[in-house]
Structure 1
Amino acid sequence: MTVVAGAAVVDAVGYDNVMVAIDAHGGRVLYRERMPVPVSMWRPWERWTRETGGARANLFANPVVEVAGRKIAPLICYEQLVLWPILQSMLYRPDAIVLIGNGWWTTGGNIIAIQRASAKAWSALFGVPLVISFNT
């Protein structure tokens, strides 16, 4: 059995939003978010201004990862609303699309419903099974 969960890896200059895989052998970072929310999380100007604290964007990294012998297309939160991450992942023919996100901050809004609808549409379009997990 493998448990996949969301987490953050924090260091002195910023952080990565990640998916971790935890199994009988321990835990590991499975996926690093490619596209955090611009401005509020990902602040690319921090490199030039020597500010710290923002999320890193791993734009072209890890479009698919392996979990329990299956190739998945992971998407964290904002990535579920952006064209690039899902199209990049689909080029690698994943066995499933796996979504995670935090919706606690959207109380009374419809962002989670929009993310679910978008993911279901991509899943149907590419004929790839979908797994969704949100904290609300």
Structure 2
Amino acid sequence: MRRAAVEGASIVVLPESALGLWTPTVEGVWRDELHGVDITVIAGAATVNARGYDNVMLAISAVRADILYRERMPVPVSMWQPWLAWTGQDGGARAHFFANPIVELGGRRIAPLICYEQLILWPVLQSMLHAPEVIVATGNGWWTAGTSIVAIQKASAEAWARLFGIPLVTAFNL
């Protein structure tokens, strides 16, 4: 990130879950490391509460760290488990279906897409209705070793960007 800032980047994008669980301690470490560096990092994390968790993208700089985006459509069954609430249990990722189809960062309108959202129609079309300037697509592929899942996600994100004629920024971990 420091090298990217020296080379003129103002924003760096890291993959889904790159930060792990987002806590005040993790925030402090990142903000301290970014002290004196004029850059914003967009990175994935999980924020946990008593009911479950949110899969998020954060915007972090030396002066602040904010949740930029909450995933609208987590992977059904493995992440999003709505039946838990129906049975009075807590857990699983929350789905923010109609929230934040675009976010603004550095004066640019961004269509954020985390992992599974790159493969399905709803999040993409909802974002495109708000005329974003760029798609930021992140993913977490460490668990897919030996499969073509990450390649399919990347191809899907590239196809959406071409279809709507807007730039694409991706960040995947393997």
Q: Specify if TM > 0.5.
A: yes
Aligned length: 136
1:54 to 86, 92, 95: 92
- Structure showing greater radius of gyration is 2
1:52-131 aligned at under 5 Å gives the runs 52-131=90-169
Cα deviation for residue 24 of structure 1 reads 3.2
Deviation >3 Å, runs of 4+: none
In the TM superposition, residue 70 of structure 1 has moved relative to its aligned partner by 0.6
Q: 1:19 aligns with which of 36, 44, 57?
A: 57
Paired with 1:119 and 1:99, the residues of 2 have a C-alpha distance of 7
TM-score by length of 2: 0.76
Q: Which residue matches 1:44?
A: 82
- Which residue number corresponds to residue 30 of structure 2? none
Q: Conserved in 2, the CA contact under 8 Å of 1:3 and 1:23? A: yes
**Structure 1 or 2: more strand by fraction:** 1
AA matched with 2:120 = V
Tell me, which stretches of 5 or more residues in structure 1 are unaligned?
none
- How far apart are residue 5 of structure 1 and its match? 0.1
Cα distance in 1, alignment partners of residues 156 and 115 from structure 2:
12
Structure 2, unpaired ranges of 5+: 1-38
Deviation at 1:12, TM superposition (A): 1.2
CA distance in 2, matches of 1:49, 1:109: 35
Q: TM-score, normalised by structure 1?
A: 0.97
User: Deviations for 1:9-42, whole angstroms, at most 9, x for unmatched residues?
Assistant: 0011100000000123210000000000111111
Work out the CA distance in 2 between the residues paired with 1:85 and 1:58: 10
Task: Give the Cα separation in 2 of the matches to 1:37 and 1:105.
Answer: 14
**How far, CA to CA, are the matches of 1:103 and 1:75 in structure 2?**
15
Deviation digits for residues 57-114 of structure 1, max 9, x if unmatched?
0000000001111110000111111110001000001010001111000000001100
Instruction: Report percent identity of matched pairs.
Output: 68
